[in-house]
Structure 1
């Protein structure tokens, strides 16, 4: 039997925590979290996405997304626009200031990954990514 610390889930959690700790001082200086930045990345890659779709992609509860967008909107990083197809829905866009945040801090994400994988061969990383992709596929638990 495995101990908790030997499970894949625990190891992945440790990796996530290390990335968050690495990123924390960078994002603290602009008053957001790493999670807020990830939400902004989804908007950067999917301009005009609805809040509901963002919640699905980000695997977050809709209420959490609303709170996150409220915070990012206050900082003028994100803007909400009424959806043309449904007046009850909003589409989301990064502002120019939000896009600048993406460009300025992208290296934080890539540097964290480089630092974590410095002693791992490209071949091992390819296998690791492949395994993680398979584990991320929707499966019944």
Structure 2
């Protein structure tokens, strides 16, 4: 039973990822970059470490994605005044323009996924998946901390 659940969650995630990759190609956002861009738009000034934590990815993945967003002029970075090794990330005007488009696409995917669901079912799914995330996050943190 449990493998079926994770397989279904994975299928949904991969479908949405694939749809997003195709949809965002025209605005020069590559594989998964939109998730980094949305978080930067929602949390201007976030640093690479915190962004990696929020998205549950390693710093190398974050660094590569941010570099591409910098090259496409979606993000700008500013050095921290107190800690010169720390960079803060901010959306550019170009990012602010496409942010509503990305959110609309995200909402469209949600609407498609939840077609035929009652409000109660939607809320139940949200709470159950949120709990799953909270449960696995602890395992992720433990494993990550034991890596290096």
Shift of residue 34 of structure 1?
5.5
Alignment length, in residue pairs? 138
TM-score with structure 2 setting the length: 0.86
Per-residue displacement from partner, 1:14-72 (whole Å, max 9, x unpaired)? Answer: 11112122223220112213621111111111110111111111111101111100000
TM-score with structure 1 setting the length: 0.90
SS in structure 1 at match of 2:32: helix
Corresponding residue for 2:144? none
Partner residue of 1:119 out of 98, 116, 119: 116
Q: Mind listing any 5+ residue stretches in structure 1 that lack a counterpart?
A: none
Whether 2:97 is the aligned partner of 1:100: answer yes
Shift of residue 140 of structure 1?
4.1
Shift of residue 80 of structure 1?
0.8
Q: Mind listing any 5+ residue stretches in structure 2 that lack a counterpart?
A: 141-148
In the superposition, relative to structure 1, how do residues 139 and 88 fare at CA in structure 2: closer, same or farther (>3 Å)?
A: closer
RMSD (CA atoms): 1.7
Higher helix share: 2
Contact 2:46 2:88 in 1 (8 A): yes
In the superposition, relative to structure 1, how do residues 125 and 3 fare at CA in structure 2: closer, same or farther (>3 Å)?
A: closer
Whether 2:62 is the aligned partner of 1:65: answer yes
Higher relative contact order (CA 8 A, sep 6+): 1
